[in-house]
Amino acid sequence: MLLWLADHYREVMWVVFASTTILVAVFFVVPFGVRPLMTDRRLRSSGVAVKGECVAASWSEDRVSETFQFKTLEGRTVFYRSPLRGSRIADTGEVLEILYDPRSPRRARTVRELKVGSSARLNLWGGIAVLVLMQLVFWGVDALIGSFHGS
């Protein structure tokens, strides 16, 4: 087994690198970076503006998420829960302007959130940095193993 691994370490490393890259992209970069940024962009371009009220806030450690209630243009009551962030967007009972996607009204953001921006950019660039760092580590390991292997 060890002889086979010594002869095929580059193939094994490629499989490990490819699988970890896919896992980081699928479970971190896309859901926490790309998807929220695409939602923000879609809401800015085609979102419907309505007034909504902050009806609750929930804390998780030192981060907060608020729940907003609003009515669509068709009169349907919708609740939107903001992503966790470091500070409050609104006080309970405060009325804010909300943009929602007419195709999926639960996909919404307050105008205040859109102006401030989300942590999605940081998540996206952080994920890309992790992927670049992984590549550098794999190159270093490859060079180290290659120097022992004599290739």
pLDDT at 121 over 80: no
Give this prediction's pTM. Answer: 0.66
Q: Which of 49-53, 87-91, 93-97 has the lowest mean pLDDT?
A: 87-91
Query: For the residues 3-32, what does the mean pLDDT come to?
Result: 77
Q: What residues have CB less than 8 Å from 117, skipping those under 6 apart? A: none
Token pair for 44: 């800015």
pLDDT at 85 over 70: yes
Delimit the domains of the chain by residue range.
2-149
Task: Rank 42-46, 66-70, 80-84 by mean pLDDT and report only the highest.
Answer: 66-70
Percent helix, strand, coil in the chain (nearest 5)?
Answer: 55, 30, 20
Q: How many helices (H) does the chain have, and how many strands (E)? A: 5, 5
DSSP letter string, 37-74? HHHHHHHHHHPEEEEEEEEEEEEETTEEEEEEEEE-TT
